[in-house]
Amino acid sequence: MMMNPQFPIEKAIINLINSYKNQITKKMRPLGLYPGQDMILLELLKHGQVSQNKLVVELCVDHSTIAKSVRRMVSSDLIHTEKSTEDKRVTLVSLTEHGHDLAKKVEEIWVTSECCATDGLSEEEQRLFIEMIDRITKNLNK
């Protein structure tokens, strides 16, 4: 891969994101999911029932994006929603049986992709990579 000598970090980050995203998208396409729905499924698989607002915070997306995805996913019988008995303003979201099965497939795809991405890297190299990415992210968010 030829690096842009003027902006090598930018080029490396863009190439990494595009390669990872392309691999995941290719594997997700047969599942019939819209972009981002895989992340919602994984969040619900991990935490069970959560509020729509928690999904907004955990996935770092705006409320309208989550609301649209939730509507689509309810229509596809992947999740169901209900109002909180404690606070009727809060919408709780959880997986249906079909959604749970699909979430397990999504999890498998993410595990496989993670293994593929780190193939040939030692645990120390993986740790250092994560530390560097975290540092770059903090630098960019200053």
Is 94 within 8 Å of 12 (Cβ atoms)? no
Angle of CA points 121, 58, 12, to nearest 5°:
35
User: What's the average pLDDT block by block, 10 residues per block, for the chain (142 residues)?
Assistant: 72 93 90 91 96 94 94 96 91 97 96 95 97 94 90
pLDDT at 2: 54
Q: Look up the pTM and report it.
A: 0.82
* 32-113 to CATH, choices 3.30.830.10, 1.10.10.10, 3.40.50.2300, 3.40.640.10: 1.10.10.10
pLDDT at 6: 86
d(CA 77, CA 100): 10
φ/ψ region of 16 (left if φ > 0, alpha if ψ in -120 to 50, else beta) reads: alpha
Domain ranges of the chain: 32-113
pLDDT at 19: 94
Backbone φ, ψ for residue 86 (5° rounding): -85, -35
Name the strand (E) or helix (H) holding 81.
Answer: strand 79-83
